[in-house]
Amino acid sequence: MSERDDKRDATAPAVTTVSGAESPAAGAESPASGAESPAAGAEGPASGAPHGPGLARTRPVAVVGGTRIPFARSDGPYATASNQEMLTAAVDGLAERYGLDEPGAVGELVAGAVLKHSRDFNLARETVLGSKLDARTPAYDIQQACGTGLQAVIAAANKIALGQTDSAIAGGADTASDAPLGVNDTLRRILLEVRRAKSPGARLKALARVRPAHLVPDIPRNAEPRTGLSMGEHAAVTARAWGVPREEQDQLAAASHQRLAAAYDSGLLSDLVVPFRGLDRDQNLRPGSTVGKLATLRPVFGLDAPEPTMTAGNSTPLTDGAAVVLLASDAWASARGLPVLAHLTAYETAAVDFVEGDVAGGEDGLLMAPAYAVPRMLERTGLALSDFDFVEIHEAFASQVLATLAAWEKRGLGTVDRSRLNVAGSSLATGHPFAATGARIVATLAKLLAERDAPGRGLISVCAAGGQGVTAILERW
C-alpha cells in the first residue's frame, strides 16, 4: 500500500488511491477498520499516480495464471505431506507451466500457512530452495488466518504496482493432518528450568516435578482463544441471528459440488490443478450431491439452540492442500509471451469485534467482516454489485455465505444474481486448506474472466478467523 510521507493529521489518516487522490481511512463509520489501497488501475491500464515525496508511480498488476494441487480431506491421501512438500508441488507446477526455472525468472515468493510446525518458520524460503525456482529468489512468510492466500496476493501486488519487482508468486499451503503437537506447557516450563539450572542437583530437582499428566501433548484446537467457541459454533450464532434457513444452506452446498464437477468436466481447471499423491481432482467433491441427500444429515453445530441448521454437508471439512498464483507487470508478461488473464485492481481488509460487538444481532459475527469491507471497497471504486460478472465468496459455511449476502443487501448494495455466485464451485466442494483458499479463488476467477473473452469484473470475499475479512476486485479490460 503506497502512502505519502508528508505530514498528516494523526487523527485522520488517509490511504492513497491508484489515481493519487487521498480518501479518508476506512473504519471511521464502522467497527471494521482496515482499508487497503488498490493494487493498480482501477480506472484502466493507463492509470498512474503522480510523483511526489515518497509516492511512486503505480502500474497495473496482472494475474498471469495459477496452480494448485487437488485438495484432500484431512487424514487422507496427504496425511504425511508437509506444508512445504505441498507448497513446493504447487510452485513447481507453476514453474513448469510458465517456464519459471531460469535464473531470476521470478522477483519473489510470498506464501504462508496457518497450522505451522516450528520447522516451518521460514516456509516460503525453504520452499524456494526445494523447488524448481532459482535458489536466489527472495521469499517471505505471511499469515492472516483464512485470508492468508489472498493477503499474500495483495502483498506481492503492491510491490509490482510500485515497480519494486516485476513478477511474484503468491499463495499458501495448509495441512490439518500433519498438525503440530506442542509440548504440555507445564512440562515446557520445567524443561526450560532444567536448561537454566546451574548444577546437576538443581536439574534433578526440577525434573522431579514432572508428572504423567505433563506428557499429554498440546493439540491444536479449532476454537477462538477469546471465546473458546469453534468457527462452526460462531457461524451457528450468526445463522440464527440472520434467520438463515436449512434448505437454503443445502441448496448452496449442492450447487457448489455440482458446479465444481462441471468446471472439471468442461476443462476450466485443466491448467490450474496438477496431480499430487494419486489425486487429480479434489477429494471432497461429490458430483451427485443433491438437496435431498444433504437434507438427511444431522446438524453438528448450534446444538445448544432449537432447530439447528448446520451440518457436515453444508460446512467445509478440514482439508489439506496448496495453491499459488503468478502475478506480474504487463511488460513482464508481454516480454515472455504470456497472456494476461485479468488484473487485480482493488482490495480491502476489515475486522469486527466478535467478542464485545453486536454478535447476537448478527452484525459482528466472527465471519462477518466482509460485510463491512465490500461496501467500503465498492464506495471507493464507484462500483455496485450489479457491475460484477462473477462474485466469489469463500464458503467456510453455507450459512456464512448467505448471511453475508443478507448483510450486503441490508447495507443497500442490492442482491447478488445467484447465477453469478461461485459459478465454478467453491470451498464447500473443494475443501478449505486455510492459507491456500485465497490463491485458489484468485486463479479460478481470473480464468473465468479470461474465458469470457470480453471485458468483465469479479468480486472476491474471504472471511477469516479472528473476525477478519479480505476482499478484492479482478478486472479484464
Q: H-helix or E-strand containing 134?
A: none
Return the half-sphere exposure (C-beta side, CA atoms, 13 A cut-off) of residue 228: 0
Question: Longest Cα pair distance anywhere in the chain, in angstroms?
Answer: 77
Query: Phi and psi (nearest 5°) for 11?
Result: -90, -5
Across 31-176, the runs of DSSP E, i.e. the strands, are: 61-68, 72-73, 109-112, 139-141, 167-174
Residue type, 107: G
Amino acid identity, residue 131? S
Pairing status of strand 456-464 against strand 299-301: unpaired
| 463 counts as catalytic | yes
- Which residue out of 117, 146, 257, 343 is catalytically annotated? 146
Strands 22-24 and 14-16: antiparallel
Backbone angles phi, psi at 197, to 5 degrees: -60, 145
From CA 423, how far away is CA 83, in angstroms rounded? 29
Burial class (CB in 10 A: 0-12, 13-18, 19+), 358: middle
To the query of whether residue 146 is one of the catalytic residues in this protein, the response is yes
Q: How would you label 390-429 residue by residue, b for 16+ Cβ within 10 Å and e otherwise?
A: bbbbbbbbbbbbbbbbbbbeeeebeebeeebbbbbbbbbb
Tell me the angle at which helices 200-207 and 185-196 cross, rounded to the nearest 10 degrees. Answer: 170
Kindly name the residue from 257, 343, 394, 432 that is annotated as catalytic.
432
Q: Which residues are catalytic?
A: 146, 432, 463
